[in-house]
Amino acid sequence: MKALVVADTLEPGATVNAVADRYGVQPNQLSAWRRLAKQGKLVLPSAPTDEPVFAPLVVCDPAPAPPSCDRRPAEEQIRIVIGEVRLELAADTSAVRLAEIVRALGAAPC
C-alpha cells in the first residue's frame, strides 16, 4: 500500500497533503515514504505505458564464446564496439534496429 500511495503523489498536479488526506495517512508519514522511495528502499509500481520498456544493460567480463559450426564469418557480421561493450549482429540487421541499439548504448544511466 505504501508504494501505491507514494506513486499517487507522482501524478501530475498531485500534492502530498491531498494524497495523504485521500488515503487517511499523515502528510509527514507520506513524505517519509517518498524519501524511502528516492533512496531505493521502497519499490514503486511501474506506471502503465504504451512505450517499449527496456531492461538496464549490465556489462560483465566477456565469457568465452562456445565453438559453433553455424557462426558466421566476421565479414558477414556487424560489430559495434563502444568502450568495453562489444556487440556482434547479423549482417542483415536493419538500419533502424542498429540506430536503436547505438542510441540505447549512448544513453545516460538512470
Question: Is residue 66 domain-resident?
Answer: no
Higher pLDDT, 26 or 11: 26
Higher pLDDT, 70 or 33: 33
User: Which range has the top average pLDDT, 23-27, 46-50, 64-68, 86-90?
Assistant: 23-27
| Full 3-state SS string of 33-73 | HHHHHHCCCCCCCCCCCCCCCCCCCCCCCCCCCCCCCCCCC
Question: Is residue 44 domain-resident?
Answer: no
Which three cell numbers mark 53?
520498456
CA–CA gap between residue 21 and residue 8 (Å, rounded): 12
Question: Is residue 56 domain-resident?
Answer: no
pLDDT reported for residue 47: 62
Give me the mean pLDDT over the 2-19 stretch. Answer: 90
Tell me: pLDDT of 67 over 70. Answer: no
Structural domain containing residue 88: 77-107
Give me the mean pLDDT over the 30-37 stretch. Answer: 92
The overall average pLDDT reported for the chain is 80
Number of domains composing the chain: 2
